[in-house]
Structure 1
Amino acid sequence: MKIISLVPSITEALFDFGLSEKEVIGRTKFCIQPKNTVQKVEIIGGTKNLNIAKIKSLNPDLIIANKEENVKEQIEELQKDFKVLVTNISNLEDNYYLLKTLGNLLEKQEIAQKFNLKIYEILAKFSDLEKKKCAYLIWKNPYMTVGFDTFIHDILDKIGFQNIFKNQKRYPEVSVVDLKAADYIFLSSEPFPFQQKHIDELQKELPAAKIFLVDGEAFSWYGTRLAKCESYFQNLVENCR
């Protein structure tokens, strides 16, 4: 089966399922994992500006897209000629069924089950923790955070953090004043590349908050990535005690 993946985390998952560059024949420029293998795969544009002509020339058997990552009109154009699996991942349960679906499509059911079990085993270790109030920032100018209906929110909850914006939807804009309710503020490495200087800026306005740079892939890359984040999450939680 020849597959084009339009989603970075799903591209990673396909290779984790044992596929090679002969099967994964197309990817976006943001599909950067696994580093050594993915470089051999043809780039077909960005997640939101696909090269439709190039995709058609590759003639895939399956295209895997995502409702949030990709542009609806571009996906509808591709659906006229190709089988397109459109994913929509908002929580851990959705991720479970994503892996299960991939396992069935690729006839890799045992691998899918292995990853699902590993993910639940990792997150179960944090289930008894007292929830700490946090805010997770994904953008600057304006500051933007995550609401209850996002994958990031669910992962925060699973590892022992209470999102102070749990009553808001999707990716709301927030002010520094709004952040005062958080004991911990996480600045994500993506999509905005927060750095130490951004911690320093916020710390001046929020001296009581504990502010950390966090790996955006660990929180937002659904698929198999969570199965590799055990030590990362453990270290983060320990630093927040």
Structure 2
Amino acid sequence: MNRRVAVPFPPKRIISLVPSQTELLFDLGLGERVVGVTKFCVHPTKAHKTAAVVGGTKNFDFEKIKTLKPDLILGNKEENYQDGIEQLAAKYPVWLSDISTLDEALDMIRRVGLITGRKEKAIALATEIAASFASLKTALEPISAAYFIWRKPYMIAATSTFIDDLLLRTGFRNVFTNLARYPEVTAEQLTAAAPQQILLSSEPYPFSEKHVAEFQSICPAAQIRIVDGELFSWYGSRLLHSAAYLRSLISAD
């Protein structure tokens, strides 16, 4: 983010405003230092028992955060909201990640390890994740696909997103390369794009088998699949399991 953030070393009272980074902190052995998390920080399950819930990713409880007296707050440019982050940054050390590729995710892991005193463990974790993706064999022929994250309105993950980067690494070709970020699309646009596969993410919208017929009626020739949104979009330590999962999607095709 091109900002200098002064953080006491090592920070002892950490608030995480990003679910995937919360899980990362615990996996780096920092659970006892995490004093605040969001209601969406569901991994590990003990996070909500050992840390206070300070709202959602886009609506912070400023008064509760004040009582927690954090010496480090971890956020993310995309998942959090600018006004809230600016209010917090005026009072506390706020470190923001900005991630749209696997390489940026690995850099984030190493940096979080550095500023929290877990440098070696974070480097080892990033190295293991990188190796798992290096051995990922992509589809023999590119598979055209559309990745849906929301319903009513339909929203997809297009270019310049972390999801798109993982799709490309797996051998999928995003049919909405003409669009950026997370745009709304119509059924007519989906029909015209004619993807071979339509991937319905389990989050943030909870797509399930009951939605398959809806998309099958729009693209009768497409294969409709429910996919694990966490393994496609969580860019912390959960990436340890992503490459194997992505490999299974191709081998099961």
Give the TM bin, normalised by the shorter chain.
over 0.9
Determine if the alignment matches structure 1 residue 80 to structure 2 residue 90.
yes
Contact 1:7–1:66, Cα closer than 8 Å, also in 2: yes
Q: Provide the secondary structure at the position in 2 that maps to 1:173.
A: coil
User: Which residue, 91, 113, 119 being the options, matches 2:129?
Assistant: 119
Residues 156 and 30 of structure 1, relative CA distance in 2, 3 Å threshold: same
More deviation, 219-228/124-133 = 124-133
Structure 2 partner of 1:238 = 251
The match for 1:68 is: 78
Give the AA of the match of 2:226. L
Residues 18 and 38, structure 2, Cα contact 8 Å, conserved in 1 = yes
Is residue 138–residue 190 contact of structure 1 (8 Å, CA) maintained in 2? yes
Is residue 155 of structure 2 the alignment partner of residue 152 of structure 1?
Answer: no
Match of 2:156, as an amino acid? T
1:117 shift after superposition: 1.7
Displacement after TM superposition at 1:201 (Å): 1.4
Q: Which residue of 2 aligns with 1:162?
A: 173
Q: Confirm or deny: 8 A CA contact 1:126 1:160 kept in the other structure.
A: no
Partner letter of residue 138 of structure 1?
Answer: I
Aligned residue number for residue 10 of structure 1: 21
Separation of aligned partners in 2, 1:72 and 1:175: 29
SS at match of 1:64: strand
Equivalent position to 2:220, from 188, 194, 207: 207
Matches of 1:218 and 1:3 in 2, distance apart? 25
Task: Report sequence identity in percent.
Answer: 44
CA positional deviation for 1:84: 0.3
1:133 aligns with 2:131: no
How many residues were matched structurally? 239
TM-score by length of 2: 0.90
User: 1:36 deviation in Å?
Assistant: 3.1
- Are residue 173 (structure 1) and residue 189 (structure 2) matched? no
Gaps of 5+ in 1: none
Is structure 2 residue 78 aligned with structure 1 residue 50? no
Give SS of 1:135's match. Answer: strand
* Residue aligning to 1:191: 204
Once the two structures are superposed, residues 65-106 of structure 1 have per-residue CA deviations (whole angstroms, 9 ceiling, x without a partner) of 111111111111111111000111111121121011111112
Change (3 A) 1:159 1:121: same
Q: Take 1:70 and 1:172, find their aligned partners in 2: how far apart are those partners?
A: 18
Say whether 1:219 aligns with 2:219: no
Gaps of 5+ in 2: 1-11
Q: Does 1:110 find its partner at 2:120?
A: yes
Contact in 2 for aligned 1:92/1:155 (Cα 8 Å): yes
Q: Output one character per residue of 1:129-178: Cα deviation in whole Å (capped at 9) or x when no partner.
A: 33211110001112111121111000111111111112311111112233
